[in-house]
Amino acid sequence: MLEFAFIRSRRVLASFTFLAAFTAPAGAATEAPFYGTPFAIPGSFEAEDFDRGGEGVAYHDNVPGNAGGQYRPNEDVDIIVSSDPAGGGYVVNNFETGEWLNYTVNAQTATNYDIELRVSSQFSASAFHIEIDGQNVTGSVVVPNTGNWNSFQWVGKKGVALSAGLHVLRIFADQQYFNLNSVRVLQSTTSNAPPPPAPVTRYEETDPSVTFSAGWIQDNGWFGWSGGNAMESQTPGAQATFAFTGTSVAWLGMRGPDSGIARVSIDGVFVSQIDMFARSYEVHVPVFVAKGLASGSHTLTITVTGLKSTDSQAVMSPFAVVVVDAFDVPAHVVSHIQDTDPDWSYAGNWTFDDTTRSWSGWMASISSGPGAQATLPFNGTSVSWIGYRGPDAGIARVYIDGSFVAEVDLYYSDPRIQAILFTSPALADGNHTITIEATGLKNPASSGTLVVVDAIDVMRPGTRFEETEAAASFSGSWVQGNFNRAWSLGTIAETGVAGATATFTFTGTEVSWIGCRKLSTGIADVYLDGVFQTEIDTFEAPPIEAYQHTIYKATGLANGTHTLTIVVTGRTNPAAFNNLIVIDAFDVRP
């Protein structure tokens, strides 16, 4: 007997057990492995053994009925007897554009895999792509003309990173027609990953490369600053200067209700005026990023203006603080994932939506019970856990990809909010999981065993482009500059007006749309290079609120210039409160 969990909500951990067949809650059609247990990978399986669950759940076929009449006559997938000399009892016949098949698989190891289909075709432009858990991981793969329908060959993508554990593998026909005999997923000996990015060096505000004029004071209390301390000022004209060598840089500071406005110059030339007002407090986050600089030495100068936002909440505050916490060289892609994100799964005793302290995004999830776990799957090369240190904090264990990596004593004599509690070592570029476990243990000096999950910072290779940059253009009615949540670099563009369009022009082989999922978000259509890709419903039921969330990702693109277009439909999920579409940023890999 094999017992495991399928998890979708941060509130519910739903367990399923495999006996003779896969079992699931009663009700609507539920997807399940054909033989009751997932296919183990590395390994191979027959195309006709797609998941159970029926049309729209385990597969999609354009025409009702099994035209071939073989093997699974009551399904709508066309199946015929195999004519492949290599064997296989049956073949999925005449895969048409837009059709797809799902297979539940269980990856034994987190590594790179070669995913290949055994196919035949008498057309030269047939194509497919592979999705893992809804994400396109191969880009469009061409099926060549194999000579005749009885001549099969292996076609696929090498070096696809998969995390260990359960996944749903989907074969999606991009262009008809081809026949499909079997699938194999083998451990790769090669990798399609680009060269590793340059290592990121963090320079704290105490580093000799950072200098301050008069008018600055040290802030070492309450918030868990990077390196433990930060410098702050409200004095007009006070300056901080950072000398660095590189082609990009990120200034890490604070956004919040008490934050003011600063002017930024590079090499003595004014670049931007930065309003750091936000409705929630966000610390050690990028407040300014410069990229595309000439290779060599530069200086970044921050000048306090003493000014602040005209927003009513900002006006009520007596402060206009500018914080210098640290600098990263080079700047890198980081997504600040809240504890309310739908990708989290929680097991055991957790208290959600705690608002008693100045948590990132206002809320945090708290546990003190032994064995309580919080797990987040992510794609990247490093991850940091943001939480709480204090006199009532306990001891936690951290696991990466299921393996124990650290025990973290969270005790500190004074509270430290939004503290960086753990940062992973460099990870292979790909899919991973982080698990945080409350042990119920504590430092002898601590009065409690609290473990707090506030947010996670996920680092990944590539370049982030904000919605305010020239590469992003908008047509129709959009509201710019929303700073109500923990957005990337503080703001977003949003609209619910049907027909409004956002277009991002980029050069690279992979692109991601960073946006939002929650009760008030709607439905959008996505186009790549003018070709319709998919319709995405961004609705999530409460208490889910996903900020800086990857809404859509395209991989395996030809290296060159592309356009990603997002078209607002104005439509919503029936349960949605509103129909807003959020454009926060775009991530690009070379």
Tell me whether residue 194 is in a domain.
Answer: no
State the Cα–Cα distance between residues 517 and 582, nearest whole angstrom.
Answer: 9
Domain end among 441, 460, 479: 460
97 is a domain residue: yes
Q: Which domain holds residue 237?
A: 201-331
Q: Is residue 223 part of a domain?
A: yes
Q: Are residues 482 and 564 in the same domain?
A: yes
Q: 435: closest CA among 410, 453, 414?
A: 453
Residue 468 and residue 450 share a domain = no
What pLDDT does residue 26 have? 46
Q: What integer pLDDT is reported at residue 195 of this predicted model?
A: 58
Residue 192 lies in a domain: no
- 469 lies in the same domain as 581: yes
Q: What pLDDT shows up at residue 395?
A: 98
Question: What pLDDT is stored for residue 194 in this prediction?
Answer: 54
Clarify whether residues 107 and 25 are in a common domain. yes
Span 301-332, pLDDT tens digits = 999 999 999 887 888 899 999 999 999 999 98
Question: Do 518 and 552 lie in a common domain?
Answer: yes
Whether residues 157 and 256 share a domain: the answer is: no
Examine the domain organization and report whether 479 and 365 are in the same domain. no
Q: Which of the listed residues 156, 187, 218 is the one where a domain comes to its end?
A: 187
CB 376 within 8 A of CB 337: yes
Q: Tell me, what's the pLDDT at 314?
A: 82
Predicted pLDDT of residue 24: 40
232 and 128 assigned to the same domain: no
306 and 341 both lie in a single domain: no
For residue 190, the model assigns a pLDDT of 62
Q: Is residue 552 part of a domain?
A: yes
Q: How many domains does the chain have?
A: 4
The answer on 454 and 476 residing in a single domain is no
Answer whether 447's CB lies under 8 Å from 391's CB.
yes
Does 195 reside within a domain?
Answer: no
Nearest to 494 by CA among 567, 582, 585: 582
* 269 exposure class (CB count in 10 Å sphere: 0-12, 13-18, 19+): exposed
Q: Quick check: helix, strand or coil at residue 166?
A: strand
Look at residues 187, 219, 249 and tell me which one is the last residue of a structural domain.
187
Residues 93 and 180 placed together within one structural domain of the fold: yes
Q: How far is it, in rounded angstroms, from Cα 53 to Cα 252?
A: 48
b (16+ CB within 10 A) / e for 312-339: eebeebeebbbbbbbbbbbbbbbbbbbb
In a domain, 155, yes or no: yes
CATH number of the domain within which 49 lies: 2.60.120.260
* Amino acid identity for residue 415 in this structure: P
For residue 482, what pLDDT is reported? 82
Angle at the Cα of 19 from the Cα atoms of 17 and 20, rounded to 5 degrees: 140
Looking at the structure, tell me whether residues 41 and 130 fall in a common domain. yes
Ranges in the chain, pLDDT < 70: 1-29, 190-197
Q: Residue 162: inside a domain, yes or no?
A: yes
User: Do 234 and 283 contact (CB within 8 A), yes or no?
Assistant: no
